[in-house]
Amino acid sequence: MGEASTGGAERCYVGGRWVAAASGATREVVCAVTEEPFAAVADGGAADVDAAVAAAAGAFEAWAATPPLKRAAHVAALGTRLTERMDEIGALVAREVGTPIGAATLIQVGLPAWVAATTAEVAAAYPFAETVGSSLVLREPAGVAACLTPWNYPLHQAMCKVAAALVAGCTVVLKPSEVAPLSALALARAAEAVGLPAGVLNVVTGGPAAGEALVAHPGVDVVSFTGSTPVGRRVAGVAAGALKRLSLELSGKSAAVVLDDADLGEAVASVVRQAMLNGGQTCIAWTRLLVPRALHDEAADRAAEVASALVVGDPRDPATEVGPLATAAQRDRVRARIVAGEAEGARRVCGGTAPPPGLDRGFYVAPTVFAGVDNRTHLAREEIFGPVLAVIPHDGDDHAAAVANDSPYGLHGAVFSGDRARAEAVARRLRTGRVDIGNAAFNPYAPFGGFKQSGTGRELGRFGIDAFVELKSVQRP
């Protein structure tokens, strides 16, 4: 279990020290493949949050006074350290979350390392001080930042927040999901290894009680949360009591719009693979496939063919393309939504509730595709967070944009067309925080976040740093 393992359980990292929970309690971490515990962590609570916030507050003044480029160098070093431990951390995430080992290594670890590097790079040009007319405008660290992260991309979501907060000059208390806490502790060990000053980054593991105590804590100045919209509402309500700065990255039900001049086979294959990435446990998954009505049946058949061909299995096997879901509760919820989708009248063309052949053990759900989905149904409107795709017909560009926008969410989307200008015209009409034109590459410099019930605020690049600074105007004669 590494340097932090004591008494069989990983400890919290507070003030540069590895400490047990004040209560002495621990919490098991369950393997998504075997359904058995394979690790344990401290089950932190309010007392541990108090200690972590105190450590962060104590370290704040010195860290805020550290030159931005020096802060950025620490963040870059964190990314380098994670890269050195990529295989080890990737294997942990594969067991916690069920991500196939290839993606667990390249995405779950490689991507956050890249985010650390790009955030550090952006800091060199970030306008911490600028002249506006006769005034000096300063962007100063907001204070102690509470960062609360989910289980689906545990290290990536942590780094999106921690890197920006540290570059901004904030000190941090990170509270990872109790489902997948081990990579957050790996991040703490990386901070220790690169010499990040004590108290600048603190990690408290535990359940919802620890998260609520952290959001409500009077010593916390800014809250950054990633998770479901229902929990985000609760976080917003608690943070509002003290008028804390708040960023929320929440649920999605993203639409991939295929226009009639697109390469249908290529577009459908791309959407299916993106929707099934990480077992569908991706907030930006394209879970609604909008296709021209005349091509609907062909698109549904193609989607079923691609989904059925995906290799489902043990995420530790390099051949696996779709692993198990992270928890039994999530598996059961997804299977229930599949049953409800059929009851609503959608036609299931592959997958279903039965475990994939030979996989009776583990939190598996077969890649599932529904055809003829009505955009007004729960299947099309609720975030399922599993390997389930809804194929929905549209009647041209105007109708496609209207259907895509007819959602309570607005996190991601895509447009596939043989005409880039046409695709961009449709993309501009989509009420969503990010839109890909075809298979566009991920850009860690561009802002990431959502419209509507997908949240508030943005992460990544200079936009992510904005979330952790306060503006001060110094009026000069």
Would you list the DSSP string of 220-266?
A: --EEEEES-HHHHHHHHHHHHTTT-EEEEE-----EEEE-TTS-HHH
Domain 255-445 adopts which CATH fold? Aldehyde Dehydrogenase; Chain A, domain 2 (3.40.309)
Q: Is 35 a catalytic residue?
A: no
Domains of the chain: which residue ranges?
5-250+454-475, 255-445
| Backbone dihedral region for residue 4 (phi beyond 0: left; psi -120 to 50: alpha; all else: beta) | alpha
Confidence of residue 9 (pLDDT cuts 50, 70, 90): confident
pLDDT value, residue 5? 37
**Percent of the chain at pLDDT above 70?**
98
Write the pLDDT tens digit of every residue in 322-361: 999 999 999 999 999 999 999 999 999 999 999 999 999 9
Distance (Å, rounded) from C-alpha 214 to C-alpha 42?
16
Give the 3-state secondary structure of residue 311.
Answer: coil
Residue of 178, 192, 249, 321 marked active site: 249
Q: Is 88 a catalytic residue?
A: no
- 348: Cβ contacts below 8 Å, ≥ 6 apart: 338, 341, 342, 368, 369, 370, 371
Give the dihedral sign, CA 447/191/251/371: positive
| Contact present, 68 and 76 (Cβ < 8 Å) | no
Q: What is the mean pLDDT of residues 253-281?
A: 98
Residue of 283, 350, 383, 459 marked active site: 283
Nearest to 363 by CA among 311, 327, 315: 327
Q: What is the mean pLDDT of residues 231-237?
A: 97
Write the pLDDT tens digit of every residue in 176-230: 999 999 999 999 999 999 999 999 999 999 999 999 999 999 999 999 999 999 9
Report the mean per-residue pLDDT for the chain: 96
Write the pLDDT tens digit of every residue in 90-139: 999 999 999 999 999 999 999 999 999 999 999 999 999 999 999 999 99
Query: Does the pLDDT at position 456 exceed 70?
Result: yes
Q: Is 149 exposed, middle or buried (0-12, 13-18, 19+ CB in 10 A)?
A: buried
Query: What is the pTM assigned to this prediction?
Result: 0.96
Q: What is the mean pLDDT of residues 58-69?
A: 98
**Which of the four CATH numbers 3.40.50.2300, 3.30.1390.10, 2.60.40.10, 3.40.605.10 does domain 5-250+454-475 have?**
3.40.605.10
Nearest to 272 by CA among 193, 194, 202, 351: 351
Phi, psi of 179 (to 5 degrees): -75, -40
| Contact present, 427 and 415 (Cβ < 8 Å) | yes
